[in-house]
Structure 1
Amino acid sequence: MGWSPFGSSDDSGPRKTSGGAFEKPSRTNRAKCYEARDAFFECLDRNNILDSINSKAGRAATASACGKADQEFEKNCAHSWVEYFKKQRVVNYQKEQTIKKIEAEGGEIIAPQLPLKK
C-alpha cells in the first residue's frame, strides 16, 4: 500500500467523486464532522489552547496535547471545513473579548438596523 496525502483508505471520512471534488456531505457525515470538531475543541479548551492553526507554538501544542482528536477531526471533515472551523474559533474568541471590553468600559452594543422604506 502506498502513501496517500489524503490519509488512510478508511471510508468513514468525506468521499471524493470521480472528478476529485468532495461529495456533498450527508446528514450523517455532517454529524460525524461536528462531533469530531466538538471533541477536538474540548481537548483544546482542556489544554488552554486557543489558536491551533495560525501560530507555530499553537500548532506544536495542539499536536502534542490533542493530536489524536485533530486527526479524527481532519478525517471526518473536508479540509476546507477544518480550516474554517479552526479560524472561526479564534475569530469568535476575539469577538467575545471585544464585546466584554466595550461593556466593561460602559459602552453598549447596538445591532445595526436596516433603513425603513418611506
Structure 2
Amino acid sequence: MAAAAAAAAVESYASTKADKIETDVLLKAREACYKGRDAFYACLDNESNKKPTEIASVGLLYPIECKKSRQDFVNHCRASWVKHFDRLYCKNKRVQRLLDDGGQTRRGPLSLPQPASGSST
C-alpha cells in the first residue's frame, strides 16, 4: 500500500514538472563543462613540450601534468561531448600543423610520371 502511495506521489510530482525545463540547471552544467574543457586544452597547450603518457578518448595523448584537469573535464561533461571535443581538438591541431608546415613536406610525387616518348623497336 505504501509503495502505491509513493508511486502516485512521484507520478503527481512528475506530471506537474513535466512541461517545465530547468534551463538554469542546464546552463550551469554547460558552463561547468566548457570551463573544464577549456582548462584541459589550455593545459595541453601549456605542457605541449612534455612527453604525453596518458591516453584520452579517440587516441588523444596528454602529459600526466594535465591528468587532474582531464578528470575535471570528464566529470563535468557528458561522455559524448568529451569525445566530440577531443575529436575537434585533434582535427584543429592537425589542420594547424598542415598550415604551419606550408606544404613543405608533401608525400608522393607532385606530378604523374609521363610515358616514355619514342618508339621501341
1:32–1:76 contact (8 Å) kept in structure 2: yes
1:66 paired to 2:75: no
Compare relative contact order (CA 8 Å, sep 6+) and give the higher one, 1 or 2: 1
Structure 2 gap ranges (5+): 1-22, 105-121
Matches of 1:68 and 1:101, distance apart in 2? 32
Conserved? CA contact 1:74–1:82, under 8 Å: yes
CA shift, 1:52, in A, is: 5.2
| TM-score, normalization by structure 2 | 0.52
8 A Cα contact 1:37 1:73, kept in partner: yes
1:28 and 2:28 are equivalent in the alignment: yes
Q: Distance in 2 between matches of 1:97 and 1:46?
A: 17
Which runs of at least 4 in structure 1 moved beyond 2 Å after TM superposition?
A: 49-53, 97-104
Q: Structure 1: 5+ residue runs without aligned partners?
A: 1-23, 105-118
- Alpha-carbon RMSD across the aligned residues, in angstroms, is 2.9
Matched, 1:94 2:97: no
Q: CA deviation at 1:45?
A: 1.2
Task: Tell me by how many angstroms 1:78 deviates.
Answer: 0.1
Shift of 1:82: 0.6
Bigger Rg, structure 1 or 2: 2
Give the drift of 1:44: 1.1
Taking the TM superposition and a 5 Å limit, the aligned residue runs for 1:1-118 are 26-48=26-48, 53=56, 54=59, 58=61, 61=63, 64-102=64-102
How far off is 1:27 after superposition?
A: 1.5
TM-score by length of structure 1 reads 0.53
Change (3 A) 1:77 1:26: same
Structure 1 residues 86 and 52: alpha-carbon distance in aligned structure 2, compared to 1, 3 A threshold? farther
Higher helix share: 2
Q: Partner letter of residue 46 of structure 1?
A: N
Contact 1:36–1:73 (8 Å) recurs in 2: yes
